Amino acid sequence: MRGSCMEPKEAFCMQQAKEKFKMDQNTNLEELPEGAFESVSFERINIRNSALKTIHPSALLSSAETLSMLEIFSSHIESFPFDVLPRLTSLKVLILPLNRFASVPPLQSGSLEELFLMRNTILRLEEDGWATPKLRKLILDGNPFSEFPSDVVNGLERLEEFSCAECNLGPNLPSGFIKSRSESLKVVNLAWNKIVKLEPGAITGVGPNTNVDLRHNNIAVLPKESFQSILQVLSRGNGILNVNSFSSEEGKSAGNAIPCDCEAEWLANNRLFKSIGGKCQNGSEFQKFRWDELECLQPCPYSCVHVSFYPLCKPETVILSKREGCRTEELCCQPNSPSVSASTTTTPRPTGPRGCEEPHEFLNGFVRKSCSGVVTSARGEVDSGISTDCIRDGKYVPGSTVEYKCDDHYVIRGSRVRICTESGKWTGHVPFCDPACSPPPNLECGKRRLVTGLSAGGKPSSLGEWPWQAAIYDVDKKLIVCGGALIRKQWVLTAAHCIAYGSSSRPRPQNDFRVYLGKHYRNDSLDDDFVQHTQVSTIVSSKDFNIHNFDSDIALLKLAEPVRLTDRVQLICIPKNLQITENNLKDGNIGTVAAWGLSSLDVLSEELTQIQIPVVANNICRRDLIYLPDKPDTFRTLTVNQFCAGQNTNISETEFQTVCPGDSGSPMVFYSKTLDLWHIEGIVSHHLGKKECSKRAGGEYGIFTRVYRYVEWIETVIG
C-alpha cells in the first residue's frame, strides 16, 4: 500500500506513505476510529485544523514501533489516549496545541523528548506518577493554570527548555516555584504572567548559560534577596535575565517598570547588571546604564552627631562618608555612652515600626493598594481594595504594592506601581496625573435622557429607560441570545461565553452576530425608527477566560460602524474610581439588571425586563452556596474577578427576583448620586442554582464578572 491512497472507514481523504500521514483543513472528521489505519504504520502523523474530537488508541498502536512524531494542531480534542504512550516506543515529539484539554494525567514515556501543549485550557498537570526521563522540551504557553506543576518541571533531569508564558502565574512566585535538577537548562520562559514579585528562592537550578525570560510582567523592583543568587550564576556564563517590557514601536514600557535607581544599586556589585536584558523604567538599557554615577546614601546604623563631637564617638564605629538622614555638618557613629548620645545626637536614627508611610495624595485618578498576604483564590490573585492586613502599627508592611491610574483625559507621569521596601521607602518616583487634552465631544456617559425614575423590578422597563442596553442577536439561531452594554460608540461589552463555541473558550466568527441598540421589543416587527442595528467587525475575548469556572467571562464586540447617540442610545460609564466601585459593591447595595431572558414561567421575555437585586459579599455567597443541594463544590468556583448578587432565603416567593438563562452578558448598573451618573459594575455571567428559572429560590445567587478588574484591559483593546 506504500504510496497509494488508503481506503478510509470514514468519509475523509488522507495522504499516506509509510513515512508520513498528513491531514489538513478537514472539518468533517470527528473521530479516528478503531483500526483506522489497519496495519499501516507511520513515522510521522500530522493532523492540523480539523474537527477531530476523539482518537481510538488502536489508531496509534498500529505505529507503536515506528511513530517518532505525532502532531494534532488546532482541533477539538478534549481527551487524548495518553495511556498508550508507554507502548509508542519510538515517539520523541508530541505536539498538541490549540485543542481543548483541561487537565493532563501523569505521562509515562521512556522515549518522549519534546512535549508541546500550548493554548489549551489546562488548569493542572497531574503530577503523581509522571515519568518522562528523556524529556528535553516542555512548552505550556497560554494555559490558565490554577496549580503550577512544580513537581513535574523540577523532576525533569534532562530539561533544556521550559516555557509557560501567559499561564496566569502572578502576582507572586513562591519559594521553590522552579527548582530545576537539570544541568542542561537553557531556557526558562515565564513572560506575560502578571508577575509582581519573586519570593527568595523562587527560581533556582539555572545554569551559567540559561536564559530566564520575565518580560512583560508587572515587576517594579529587583530585590537583592530574590535576584542576586540568580544573577551570580548567570554572570559566570552567557546567561541572561530578561526583564524587558518596552514596545519597539511605541518606545514605552508595556509591563515591568523597574527604575535604575538606588534601590537597584546592588546590581553594580561584580557588574551583575551585565546579565540583565532589557531597559530600565526611563528607557536606558540595564547593561549600558552608568551605575557608577548613582549617588546613593546608605542609612546610618548608629546615630548622626555633630562633627564637633567626633572625640566622643567609639573610633571603630565612625563613618565619615555621607549617610542618609545625617545633615551636612554631621557624621555617623556610636557615642561612648547613652548619656553622651542623648546630649550629642542631633539626628538619631528612627526606631519606630518598620514599614512605609501613607503614599502621597493622588489627584485626578485612583489608587489600588494590596499586599502579598491578601490572597483570595487558588490562583494567587490579590483582591482589590485597601486591606488592613497591609498596615501594621500605622505603616504599610514591606512588600505592600500601590498601583496608580489616571482618569480619562489625563496622562500619568512617574511610576505606575510602587512597592514598600525593607528600608521603609516606596520604590520608583512620585506619580501625578497630567491633563492630556480636552475630552472628546459626545462621549458623555451614564445619563438617561428619557426617564427620571425607576420602573418596578421584575416588570417590563419603560421605552428608553436603559439606553446603553445592547441585544446580541445570533444570526444562525435567529434569536437574541445575550445582552450587552454600549461603552463607546463602536464598542459593546458582554460576556465571553455568549460569543464562544459551545463548551469552548474560543470565540465564534464575528459574522455570526448582529447587535441592536435602542431596542425594547424582542419581535423585530415592533421596532421603530429609533432602533439601530449593525454587524460586528471584531470580537475580543479576555485571554484569561476559563469556560470551566467562568473566570474572566468578559468580551468586547467592535461594531462595523459607530452608532448615533440619541435619547434612546447612550453610553454607560465604566468604573474607574475604586472608592465608587467599593461603595457600589458593598454587601446589600442594590443594582439593576435589564435583559430579554427567560421569565418566571420559563418563556422568553417579549420586552426588555428589569430587576433590582442586592449585592452579596463573596464570603457570604461562598457560605450560602455550600448548602446548595447536589452542588457541594460550586462555591469553590467563585474568584476575585466575580461577585454575587441575589436575594437570600428570607425573601418571599412573590417578591423573589433573579437573573435567568438568556440574561447573560447584560450589565448590572448602579447610580451614583454624587456624580449623577450610572456605572456598569457587573456583567451577568452564570447562576449557581437550579437550571430552570421557575424553580429558583432565595439563596441561589447570580454570578457577575467584576468589571473594575478589567478596565485596563478594556482601555488597551479599544485604544
Parallel, antiparallel, or unpaired: how do β-strands 172-173 and 197-198 relate? parallel
Chain centroid to CA 498: 20
Exactly one of 664, 679, 685, 687 is catalytic; name it: 664
Residue in the block written with cell 439561531: 477
Q: What is the distance between the alpha carbons of residues 557 and 540, in angstroms, rounded to a whole number?
A: 6
Selection from 403, 452, 453, 395 nearest residue 427 by Cα: 403
Exactly one of 76, 497, 520, 687 is catalytic; name it: 497
Parallel, antiparallel, or unpaired: how do β-strands 479-488 and 432-435 relate? unpaired
Q: What is the distance between the alpha carbons of residues 400 and 387, in angstroms, rounded to a whole number?
A: 10
Is 253 catalytic? The answer is: no
Q: Let me know: does 220 contact 214? Beta carbons within 8 Å.
A: no
Is 216 catalytic? The answer is: no
Is 605 catalytic? The answer is: no
Buried b (16+ CB within 10 A) or exposed e, 323-338: beebeeebbbbbbeee
Q: What is the distance between the alpha carbons of residues 148 and 146, in angstroms, rounded to a whole number?
A: 7
Q: Is 558 helix (H, G, I), strand (E, B) or coil?
A: strand
| Residue-by-residue DSSP string for 218-276 | ------HHHHHHHHHHHTTTT-EEE---B-TTT-SBSS-----SGGGGGGGGGGGGGGE
Exactly one of 551, 553, 624, 663 is catalytic; name it: 553
Residue 45 host element (H or E): strand 44-48
Selection from 458, 380, 336, 405 nearest residue 198 by Cα: 380
Residue 624 host element (H or E): helix 618-625
Which whole-number Å values give the CA distances from 37 to 41, 73, 88, in the listed order?
7, 19, 15
β-strand partners of 242: 213, 277
Output the nine-digit C-alpha cell for 26.
478537514
Q: End-to-end distance of the chain based on CA atoms, in angstroms?
A: 57
Which whole-number Å values give the CA distances from 266 to 197, 243, 269, 357, in the listed order?
18, 17, 6, 24
Question: Which residues are the active-site residues?
Answer: 497, 553, 664
